[in-house]
Amino acid sequence: MKVDQSKWDVRYQNTQYPTLPSMILTDFIHLAPPGNALDIATGNGRNALFLAQNKFKVDAVDISNVGIKKSAIDTSNINFIHQDLDHFKIKQNYYDVVVNINFLDRNLFSQMMQSLKNNGLLIFQTKLKPSDSIIKRIKSTKSHYLLPNELLEAFHDLHIIYYSEHKIKIINDISFQIASLVADKR
Ligand SMILES: C[S@@+](CC[C@H](N)C(=O)[O-])C[C@H]1O[C@@H](n2cnc3c(N)ncnc32)[C@H](O)[C@@H]1O
């Protein structure tokens, strides 16, 4: 959505986001076969960079190109695709690893599964819905957050390797629960 682009362009202009790769990615990447990687909503490219450093050929999609342009990290080995994921067709049966960190678009779930090659790995982590009062306080929207067990149900056709709802992420003094799923296609 256009509104997502302007919102994120402004955020990346004004905020410094983490440049280290996500731990869920560094912990589980060894399970992915070598080859093609997709980083959904790549932001500043921190996870895409890690994939490229690990010899993957990386496609990284985001509606905002400000994060990656401003990025202090070397994104020269990443195929950055500046597109709205609302209208993005993911290549089918093409990726050895698909990464989705801190982003949620339920409409992409089935495409994500179809995009994996046999033995391909999905690494998915994002926030669970906090209380209604927190959502109101941070002026957010319920649909941006996962429900308990939602990832398990959505990706039950894959082989689940790891699932957790235990970690707590603190952003601006607010504690969020995050759900993490690692699964492969057998
Ligand atoms: C919280 S950031 C996560 C970035 C990255 N995955 C990470 O973990 O560092 C969410 C990203 O989603 C992107 N985004 C939001 N809506 C989008 C859309 N409709 N299409 C593509 N990207 C979108 C934003 O531009 C932003 O970079």
Kindly report which listed range (1-5, 9-13, 128-132, 146-150) carries the lowest average pLDDT score: 1-5
The model's pLDDT over 43-76, given as tens digits with 9 standing for 90+, comes to: 999 999 999 999 999 999 999 999 999 988 888 8
> For the residues 139-163, what does the mean pLDDT come to?
97
HSE-up (13 A, CA, CB side) for residue 105:
18
What confidence category does residue 94 fall into, taking pLDDT thresholds of 50, 70 and 90? very high
Distance (Å, whole) CA 131 – CA 42? 27
Atom of ligand 1 nearest to the CA of 17: 9
User: Is the minimum distance from the CB of 85 to ligand 1 under 6 angstroms?
Assistant: yes
Amino acid 152: pLDDT = 98
The residue type found at 14 is N
Domain count, the chain: 1
User: Is the minimum distance from the CB of 68 to ligand 1 under 6 angstroms?
Assistant: no
Structural domain of residue 173, as residue ranges? 2-184
User: Is the minimum distance from the CB of 43 to ligand 1 under 6 angstroms?
Assistant: yes
42 C-alpha to ligand 1 centroid (Å): 6
> Which run of H or of E encompasses 96?
strand 95-101
Distance (Å, whole) CA 144 – CA 133? 15
Provide the 3-class DSSP secondary structure of residue 68.
helix
Q: CATH number of the domain at 45, please.
A: 3.40.50.150
Distance (Å, whole) CA 141 – CA 10? 19
Using CA positions, which residue lies closest to atom 23 of ligand 1?
A: 63
Distance (Å, whole) CA 171 – CA 186? 36
